[in-house]
Amino acid sequence: MKRTRSDSTTAAVNAAQAVAKGPVEPPDYVSLRDCDRPFWEAIVCARARDTWTEVDLVKAANLARCQSDIERISQELQDEGDTVTNERGTVVVNAKHALLETLTRREIAISRAIHVHAEATVGKSEDAAKKLATEKKAKESAKAADGGLIPGLRAVK
């Protein structure tokens, strides 16, 4: 199958149609919890709608559940603390740290497998560094030139 150029009229029409359809939904046989939904939508919006295969969507659902679990366990660790007291009264490292490590590794592996990691979505790190440098220059210019005329630039620090 021949690919459409990203700067073509056909690509623009396809993009507009994809936006009108809204976020991609998971296959019917895949279940997501309500807490997984924000992660799902962020994941599927990281790639063009027509690039998702059914197998990729199953992996995306696994990634959404994984990211949701990372958030939940991180909050539990924040509430419980890094250490807990066991049945013998000994202070030990909270076992949720190991679980968080496992989930984080899984998240990275799945992100790479379905190409939603940083390099796939925003480009190589040297390109990102150039964009950041441009943004820093813009902030410096805004700080120097702001005479209260441009809303929102006063908060730049």
What pTM, to 2 d.p., does this model score? 0.71
Instruction: Check: CB of residue 63 under 8 Å from CB of residue 131.
Output: no
Range of 5-14, 57-66, 141-150 with top mean pLDDT: 57-66
Which residue's entry shows tokens 């990634």? 63
Chain-centroid distance of CA 5 in Å reads 26
pLDDT at 5 over 70: no
Which residue's entry shows tokens 């993009």? 15
Confidence grade of residue 133 (pLDDT, cut at 50, 70, 90): confident
pLDDT in tens, 9-23: 766 666 665 666 677
Positive or negative: CA dihedral 18, 11, 57, 117 = negative
Confidence grade of residue 117 (pLDDT, cut at 50, 70, 90): confident
